[in-house]
Chains A and B, each alone.
Chain A
Amino acid sequence: DTGVSQDPRHKITKRGQNVTFRCDPISEHNRLYWYRQTLGQGPEFLTYFQNEAQLEKSRLLSDRFSAERPKGSFSTLEIQRTEQGDSAMYLCASKYSRGQETQYFGPGTRLLVL
């Protein structure tokens, strides 16, 4: 059984460009979460999906951010018109909706906006 995977692991982009990240959750997990972590802080919740439905979005998720999970399996997080303040580690986590509350995290995508 593979864990949560994320691609790419690192992304360097110029301000104003669009970027897209992918997350593949643990196969039987129907809940998928996106978090963002900046230096010196803990991860902060951005959004989550149950199957293909996006059920909650944080106020941290500006209009430039969009997330999808079209078939209830993998998810993408797109940032349009990137800003330097978007530089962070973007983490994906998954869990099954029933049972333990533990979320399992992927390795993250580190974004640097120049």
Chain B
Amino acid sequence: DQQVKQNSPSLSVQEGRISILNCDYTNSMFDYFLWYKKYPAEGPTFLISISSIKDKNEDGRFTVFLNKSAKHLSLHIVPSQPGDSAVYFCAALYSGAGSYQLTFGKGTKLSVIP
């Protein structure tokens, strides 16, 4: 039973264009969402997060949108750069559980083509 789903295993985008990575969740208790970027043979690197009380958070080229009613979030990268090529993981947590353990999706591999 996957509570966080990233249905696109891969995505290719031209340099300079927008990359949109999607994530769906099933557990309505989740109240905080994070995006991590991972290069091969390295640990995940935190990118951006959003609380369930917001519907948008922006940090430079990265914007995360949250649609609570649809249980859907997306990460927008504008403009995309070749260095953005990596695997992107969506993660969620329920702060009321106390542990703050993260539940991850399977990831989407983004390739930005020069």
Contacts and interface: CB of A to CB of B under 8 A. Distances in A.
Dominant SS among interface residues on chain A? strand
B83 interface: no
A108 interface: yes
Nearest to A95: B100
Contact of B34 (A31, A40, A91, A102): A102
A38 B102 CA distance: 16
A91 B41 contact: no
Categorize the interface residue count of chain A: 20 to 34
B43 A107 contact: yes
A45 B40 CA distance: 20
A101 B95 CA distance: 8
B5 to A, nearest CB: 10
Interface in A19-54: 31, 33, 35, 40-45, 48
Nearest to A109: B43
Contact of A108 (B43, B89, B91): B43
10 contacts: A40-B106, A42-B89, A42-B107, A44-B104, A48-B99, A102-B34, A102-B46, A107-B42, A107-B43, A108-B43
Interface of B: 4, 32, 34, 36, 41-46, 49, 89, 91, 93, 95, 98-107
Interface of A: 4, 6, 31, 33, 35, 40-45, 48, 55-56, 91, 93, 95, 100-108, 110
